Chains A and B, each alone.
Chain A
Amino acid sequence: MARLAEGGAIPGARFVDPVVLSRIGKLDLLARTVVDGFINGLHRAPFFGASIDFAEHRGYVAGDDIRRVDWRLYARTDKYYVKQYEADTNTNFSVLLDVSKSMGFTSGGPSKLEYASYLAACLAYMAHRQRDRVGIVTFDEDIVDYVPVSAKHFDILLHTLDRSKPQRAGSLSGPVGKMAEHFKRRSVLALISDFYEEPDVILEAIKPLRFLGNDLMVFHVLDPAEIEFNYDDASSFEDLESGEQIPIVPEALSAQYRALMQEHITALTTKFSEHRIDYSMLNTSKPLDHALFSYLSNRERMMRVR
């Protein structure tokens, strides 16, 4: 971690913030669903394996390891039963990062894309630390960069984050549809975007990601100016993506704008919750460690409840 934090050797290592990691270092990024993996890890696998968690008994069949025969049960029933245990495995962790032009917006602090990069790097670091395979897909109106999941791709992921520049307009449905075709295994997916589309359209776009049983986490990154709309003077507002300009008198519109934005966030929260998708809105003015700690703590607590 110290090596990464120094940031000199690997481009993008600056995104792995020691301050953030020091706060969330004791937390795990666990998949809420059953995932596929090759090696033992922190996540539940769909198969029975050699973990300490008892799963069930089944009748002995020729070829079973006699060490797994439950002798106590044989004593009671005079039949051979084999004990089966849950399997724990590692998983694939992919970051789906929106790099459209709107993500380049900033009202003073880090841009949304920078903030999202910090977030992606931290999550990937956590996954990488717990022996999960990590990958990244950046997209705007199409897929921009694709780094396949691999235990060795963390550095490439950081490099990709470093290279990402907001250049084109964004759209979810096109690129997300293509991504869905690539994820063959059940994975943990972290989708990071500013979601400037209608909630129904967004949901329709990301539904395919859920088809394979992927564990989808959605991070909605917004600048405080987008939430508060604290402009004063009448100005021409230019759309970052389309270049369209509208003359605006903020003092007349701010209240309506805030209401519409809040309505949008509420709609997204409701709809994602209905589809068992973790949704988290992140304000770039808030420290990432606080936001991430809060999110992961909640997630762990929810896991326990389940």
Chain B
Amino acid sequence: MSFLTPAFLIGISALAIPVLIHLIQRERKRVVVFPSLMFLRRIPYQSVRRRSIRHWLLLSVRALALLMLIAAFARPFFQQGALAARATGGTREMVVLLDQSASMGYGDRWQQARAAAHKAIDSLSGDDRATLVLFSRNAEENVRATTDRLRLNQAVDVAKVTSGATRFGPALKLAQSILGQSAQKVREVVVISDFQKTGWTGAEEIHLPEGTTLTPVSVAGQPSANVSVPSVNFARASFSGQERITVTAGIVNRGDAPITGLTTTLDIDGHQIESKPVNVGGNSSTSVSFAPFTLADSNVRGIVKAGTDPLPQDNTFNFVLTPGRPLSVLVVAPREETGDRSDPSLYLSKALSIGTPPPFQAEVTSPVRMAPASLDKRAVLVLNDTPFPPALAGGALKKFVEQGGGVLVVLGEHSTWPQNDAALLPGTLGGTVDRPDGRGGALGFLDYSHQVFEVFKAPRSGDPSSARVFRYRLLTATPTSRVLAKFDDGAVAAAEQRTGLGRVIAWNITVDDSWSDLPRRAVFLPLVHQLLRYLGRYEEPAAWRTVGQVLDLTSGSILVGTRRDRVALTPSSKRVTLATGSGPEFLELDEQGFYELRSTGAKETHPPVVAVDIDPAESDLSPMDVGEFTAAVIGRAGPQTSAAATAEQVTPQDLERKQALWWYLLLGGVLLLATETILSNRISRV
């Protein structure tokens, strides 16, 4: 309830007058002189009796009459509720957007937000409807348009702060959709949030329906200090055949006051291995390096903690470390490795022995010596200008590819391909084509959108087309294949065929310097590495992921080599079954902590683990201007839908005039005064 002339409320102090009349005045007016209080003093004094009010009814009537008269003069009116709805022309459709991002866990912001949500819900009356939308990175319609306030309040009580980042866009889009479908005339959006700057880019296209009122409720409070660990770097070094890791953590202090002696600790597999005091200036950052430790096992969990503050979630940074795993490559060449220039695998072998990560573990063999078991635990098979090995016939190669193996077929003059496995090759083999004219041929088209050539996309990052090609093997691409590169004469230079989980790439030039000078070019090394990484499905193992990311269980390196039924154990100890083939292919990482991917069958000492941290943007608690936010949201909705326009349509004066509560209050006050007169007359007669 609001008042048009609240200054009259000062008159409420006049309520003390009847009380004074009853309590004080009636005693003061009578002082009885008495010869001696000798006997009266001996009688126990009954103060309660003395101060008690005898005519409660009379006092209540007087006080109430006075209160009603004062309230009448203050001109009350309802801005919300049934009366307001009637005055403004109908029932309301309200959408309550409640921010549950990680930053709302700062201090008592969440309690304030819930109280504000309850207040907004309690303002509903009659047939007013409300929808509760909980949002952080995404928006979720928690309770759909209902008049059931109890249900809405219960939903608010049950809601919790999540680890997600703040994004206003999806929530406002959802509100826009809900209000757009509503037939109610009065539409209102209540946004309850700490209004982090990082949650609003300004590029969100929000078009709230015409006449919508936006009510922002900020719980940001005063500028808040916050310490966070936004990232961690690892320096890997090899020592005695094992990796030694040096962890360097960044510490950010977003408060004005400098912090001295901030305790920063590093926990590895649940054991604190080092603790360091750190000094961080106000509104600045620093880094702290911990002593190196040996990484012996895979999936080792690490946590960096930096002190405590009202937002503890960003004081912790989780990560997972695994020793670098070499990519096993089997090169099948027509001749054994000789190490001289006649060796067709010379450049390839040299290229594979250089560079990290990942290290390539290459083995060169001949088609004759190759056995089906040679493919065990191999990631990539390279058929380097060689006849099709007999050992791979009969479906062995197909099985290898379907299970995720990669094959690089370097087509030379010796290359053959059996008809049975023709579907594995991205095209049909043809003869050799010479390009002796002038300076020879070159690569004329490269599919830079492909992962193999992606690294050459940027300027001055290497140009494979600079290589001269004098001869190549003709390949007619099949419709199901993807052409990755073409020569300048239009012939296919490289093509890819996917079968099952595996990939086969045909490369139409030999990898020695007889057909082209590519092996002697600088781009050869990254090109070979990219080809083999792609075929080997190598992914840089992420030490951590951010809340909101989705884990692709089919392509990630997380489950490479361990494909069996698994159960994902979330940080809050929920179990998500990841059955091979039938289970979900994606796992949404919506909690901070460690997701453990346990095997349902075999026992594992270190099962695959995914570390998840909150978005570093959540640590930046600086709020945006709520007025600007409102203007930004409403301003894009057109001139007639702005809050100002709505306010102009129904002013407080209009509301008060239409509701005319003062009239009832005045009448009630007068009636009470009449009652008081009758009552007091009767009492005085008695």
Describe A's contact surface by its main secondary structure: mixed
- If A102-B35, A105-B35 touch, does A237 touch B40 (CB 8 Å cutoff)? yes
Residues of B within 8 A of A239 (CB): 34-37
- Which residues of A227-251 are within 8 A (CB) of B? 231, 233-242, 244-249
Q: Is B260 at the interface (CB under 8 A from chain A)? A: no
**In the complex, are the beta carbons of B30 and A240 less than 8 A apart?**
no
- If A235-B27, A257-B40 touch, does A249 touch B34 (CB 8 Å cutoff)? no
Q: Is A223 at the interface (CB under 8 A from chain B)? A: yes
Q: Encode B13-30 as 1/0 by CB contact (under 8 A) with A.
A: 000000000000011101
Bound Cα distance from A264 to B40, whole angstroms: 13
Bound Cα distance from A261 to B35, whole angstroms: 13
- Which residues of B10-58 are within 8 A (CB) of A? 26-28, 30-43, 45-46, 49-50
Q: Is A253 at the interface (CB under 8 A from chain B)? A: yes
The number of chain A residues touching the other chain, given as a range, is 20 to 34
Bound Cα distance from A226 to B33, whole angstroms: 11
**In the complex, are the beta carbons of A236 and B31 less than 8 A apart?**
yes
Bound Cα distance from A113 to B53, whole angstroms: 39
Bound Cα distance from A136 to B26, whole angstroms: 45
Contact of A196 among B27, B30, B35, B46 (CB under 8 A): B35
Bound Cα distance from A112 to B40, whole angstroms: 20
* Shortest CB distance B211–A (Å): 64
Q: Encode A204-240 as 1/0 by CB contact (under 8 A) with B.
A: 0000000000000000000100100001011111111
* Shortest CB distance A6–B (Å): 33
- Which residue on chain B has the smallest CB distance to residue A101? B35
**In the complex, are the beta carbons of B36 and A238 less than 8 A apart?**
no
Bound Cα distance from A160 to B387, whole angstroms: 158
Residues of B within 8 A of A245 (CB): 31
Contact of A236 among B27, B42, B49 (CB under 8 A): B27
**In the complex, are the beta carbons of A238 and B35 less than 8 A apart?**
no
Number of A-B contacts (CB under 8 A): 78
**In the complex, are the beta carbons of A246 and B45 less than 8 A apart?**
yes
Q: Is A1 at the interface (CB under 8 A from chain B)? A: no
Bound Cα distance from A212 to B33, whole angstroms: 39
- Which residues of A253-277 are within 8 A (CB) of B? 253, 256-257, 260-261, 264
- If A102-B35, A196-B36, A239-B37 touch, does A233 touch B43 (CB 8 Å cutoff)? no
Residues of B within 8 A of A305 (CB): none
- Which residue on chain A has the smallest CB distance to residue B29? A235
- If A105-B33, A240-B33, A245-B31 touch, does A234 touch B39 (CB 8 Å cutoff)? no
- If A234-B27, A235-B27 touch, does A253 touch B32 (CB 8 Å cutoff)? no
Residues of A within 8 A of B32 (CB): 231, 235-238, 248
Residues of B within 8 A of A75 (CB): none
- If A247-B27, A249-B50 touch, does A257 touch B43 (CB 8 Å cutoff)? yes
- Please list the residues of chain A having a beta carbon within 8 angstroms of any beta carbon in chain B: 102-103, 105, 112, 194, 196-197, 223, 226, 231, 233-242, 244-249, 252-253, 256-257, 260-261, 264
Name the 6 nearest CB pairs between A and B, nearest first.
Answer: A102-B35, A235-B30, A196-B36, A260-B39, A105-B35, A239-B37
- Please list the residues of chain B having a beta carbon within 8 angstroms of any beta carbon in chain A: 26-28, 30-43, 45-46, 49-50
* 24 residue pairs bridging A and B, Cβ less than 8 Å apart: A105-B35, A194-B35, A194-B36, A196-B38, A226-B34, A234-B26, A234-B30, A235-B31, A235-B32, A236-B27, A237-B33, A237-B37, A237-B40, A238-B33, A239-B35, A239-B37, A240-B36, A241-B36, A245-B31, A249-B46, A249-B49, A249-B50, A256-B43, A257-B40
